[in-house]
Each structure stands twice: as structure tokens, then as C-alpha cells.
Amino acid sequence: MSPIDEEQLQGLQGVRDFLRIRTSYDVLPLSFRLIVLDNDLLIRKSLSILIQNNIVSAPLWDSHNGRFAGLLTSTDFINVIQYYNQFPEQIDNVEKFRLSSLRDIEKAINVQTLETVSVHPGRPLYEACSRMLRSRARRIPLVDVDDETGRETVVSVITQYRILKFIAVNTEQHTSLMKKTIREINLGTYTDLATCKMTDSVLDVINSMVVRNISAVPVIDKNNVVLNVFEAVDVIPCIKGGAYEELKSTVGEALAQRPEDFPGIYTCQEDDRLDSIFQTVRQSRVHRLVVIDDDWHLKGILSLSDILKYVLFYGEEGEYFPHT
């Protein structure tokens, strides 16, 4: 093994050891707010609550059984949009659907029902990460159970973004050893990329996100130059008036509705080393990186799950599953 390979593995091992001795509690800030939505709430109202509070997801609570009932995310709204497109005669029911109907909507449009995985906040962070990656979820709720009453409490939700940031901020001595380029370790997706144009309809882009189970699509021009990235959360402002069936906006119009504090998109190149990617994650609000060449042509996409999977599982017998 070359010295650079050895160093890389040493870095990976260091991060894995760190994740095994830290718990999900360690990732949480000292003080935070958590908005939990009752499962009986109307879907339309839940959307306004997310918008008012400037959040893009929330845990759901089944108050009849006193149990955690899953996570509400932008994917659920995308499913509702799909539902009205497939069953336009149901549009009169738009006012009536409650969050508890989301599972029926998933079934009706035949999308894979998301497992309601959760993890105890006191378990090692490594476990929270691997559960999240195996279930393809981008965030995982931390659910505590009272020993005596058996009652569940949702403590918080942690995202891939938060975990990667936590790794980047706290394990620089390990991540700085990862000197291989993303090309050398084949990190990210470079073939069969889902892309869109500014003039495409949001509905078409949503369709491709649902079919491919991805949450972001690079926006390119006719020369394959990257202009922006359309994200699943960009759908939320488009439907805020409840106009699911009139979703006629183009990608360009939807992107114009982004909040002023939108952090922007992040790019990298195939010759960038993993240590420099971690440096970007440490310093910025990165949710994915678009891989480009010197002239901004689209080459690939590097998602947070691609990075986390590599960091957790690469080199572990039978564990690494980069493109599932």
C-alpha cells in the first residue's frame, strides 16, 4: 500500500473511532427549538407552519397513541403534488387531507414508503449515521423512550449535513490525512445525471426527483454549463398558496423565489482532494457539491451521502455500497 493510501485509511479510521465514542446528543447545540406537528393537522396548515418558521421538515406526533409518527419533509409535499396530478378528480379534497393521510397518498401514487427509522440519542453517532445511510434517509429523528412509562419523546432531528459538519469541525487531524482526490476514490455520480433547464417546468423536475429518489437536479444551459441547482425544498414556496394543481412555474421562476439568505451552490473539481472538500464543509453551508471542469461544464454530483458512505464504510468488508 502506498503511503498516501495508508494515510487515507488512517484518517478514515480516526473519524470512525470518533463517531463510535460520540453520541447523537453530542451533535446537538446547547439550546435549540423543536417544532413537532400533530398528525391530525391539515397538510395545508402544516405547509404554512413550515414556511412561517423557516424550516423544511418536522417530526410528526400521533397524539392518539402517544407515539412518534415519522418525519414530514419536502418529499411529502412532492408526493401530494404527484397525487393531484395523477388523480385530478381528488382536487376538491385538497382542504381535507391531514398529515395522517400521507401514507395513503404514497400508496396511491405507488412510491416507496419511507421507513420511519429513528435512533436513541444516547447511541453512538456511528449507529445514527449507518442507520440513516442504509435507509437512504437524509435526516434521522432522535427518539428517547422513558424506561418506566415506555413513552416516547422526540428529542431532535439530525441531518447528514449536521453530522458531516460535526466531523469536519471536530476531526481536522483525521480529515487532513485524506489526500486522495475524489477522482482517485471514485466519489460521486458521473453518469446518467438528472439535469434540467431554466425553462423546464417544475413538475417535470419533480417527476425526475421522485423517479430517481434524489433531492437536487443541476440546472444547465444548452452547452452543459452549470447555472444553478434546483432542490426539493425549492418546491415549497411554489405551493404555498395551496395551488398544487396549478403548479405551472418554470425552474427559473421557482429559483427566483428563494429566500435572500440562500447560501448559494457549491462546486468542486475531480482533482480536488477529500481534505479540501472537508474544508469547504467546515466553512460553509454545503448540502451537495456540483462537480465541474475549468469552464463550469457539468461533470458530476457529489452528495453528502456519497461522502458519508465513503467515510463510514470504505474498506470495511462487504459494507461499502456507493451507488445504491
Residue with smaller CB distance to ligand ADP, 27 or 209: 209
Which CB, 155 or 232, lies closer to ligand ADP? Answer: 232
Torsion of CA 67, 68, 74, 80, to 10 degrees: -30
Tell which one of 274, 301, 307, 311 touches ligand ADP (CB under 6 A): 301
List, in order, residues 6 or more apart from 181 with CB less than 8 Å away.
270, 271, 272, 273, 274
State which residue, 155 or 219, has the beta carbon closest to ligand ADP. 219
Residues numbered 213 to 252 that lie near ligand ADP (CB under 6 A) are 214-217
Least distance (Å) between residue 133 CB and ligand ADP: 9
Q: Which helix (H) or strand (E) holds 125?
A: helix 125-135
With contact defined as beta carbons under 8 Å apart, do 113 and 121 qualify? no
Among residues 128 and 155, whose Cβ is nearest to ligand ADP? Answer: 128
Nearer to ligand ADP, 155 or 164 (CB): 164
Binding-site size, ligand ADP (CB under 6 A): 15
- Positions in 132-191 near ligand ADP (CB under 6 A): 138, 188-189
Which residue type occupies 258? R
Please identify, among the stretches 22-30, 83-91, 173-181, 302-310, the one whose residues bind ligand ADP according to the rule CB under 6 A: 302-310
C-alpha cell at 8: 487515507
Is 194 one of the binding residues for ligand ADP (CB under 6 A)? yes
Q: How far is the CB of 218 from ligand ADP (least distance, A)?
A: 6
By CB under 6 A, residue 299 contacts ligand ADP: no
The 3-state DSSP class for residue 23 equals strand
Please choose, out of 39-47, 208-216, 267-275, 276-284, the segment that lies near ligand ADP by the rule CB under 6 A: 208-216
| Smallest distance from ligand ADP to CB 135, Å | 11
- Candidates 130, 249, 276, 303; binder of ligand ADP (CB under 6 A) is 303
Interacting span for ligand ADP (CB under 6 A) from 56-64, 107-115, 168-176, 298-306: 298-306
Tell me the CA distances in angstroms from 250 to 33, 55, 177, 233, 247, one per residue in order.
34, 23, 44, 15, 9
Give the nearer residue to ligand ADP in terms of CB position, either 119 or 193: 193
CA 319/CA 268 separation, integer angstroms? 27
Contact flag: residue 288 with ligand ADP (CB under 6 A): yes
Work out whether 130 is an interface residue with ligand ADP (CB under 6 A): no
Q: Minimum distance from CB of 59 to ligand ADP (Å)?
A: 19
CA 192, CA 234: separation in Å to the nearest integer? 23
CA 119 – CA 145 distance, rounded (Å): 10
Q: Pairing between strand 152-159 and 216-220?
A: unpaired
The smaller minimum CB distance to ligand ADP, of residues 25 and 296, is found at 296
Site for ligand ADP in 5-64 (CB under 6 A): none
C-alpha grid cell for residue 75? Answer: 418529499
Which stretches of the chain are assigned E, i.e. beta strand?
A: 37-38, 58-62, 67-72, 139-145, 152-159, 216-220, 226-231, 266-268, 288-292, 298-303
Q: Which of 306, 310, 311, 313 binds ligand ADP (CB under 6 A)?
A: 306
DSSP, residue by residue, 183-230: TTTT-SB-SS---B-TTSBHHHHHHHHHHHT-SEEEEE-TTSBEEEEE
Q: State the residues that interact with ligand ADP by CB under 6 A.
A: 138, 188-189, 193-194, 214-217, 288, 301, 303, 305-306, 323
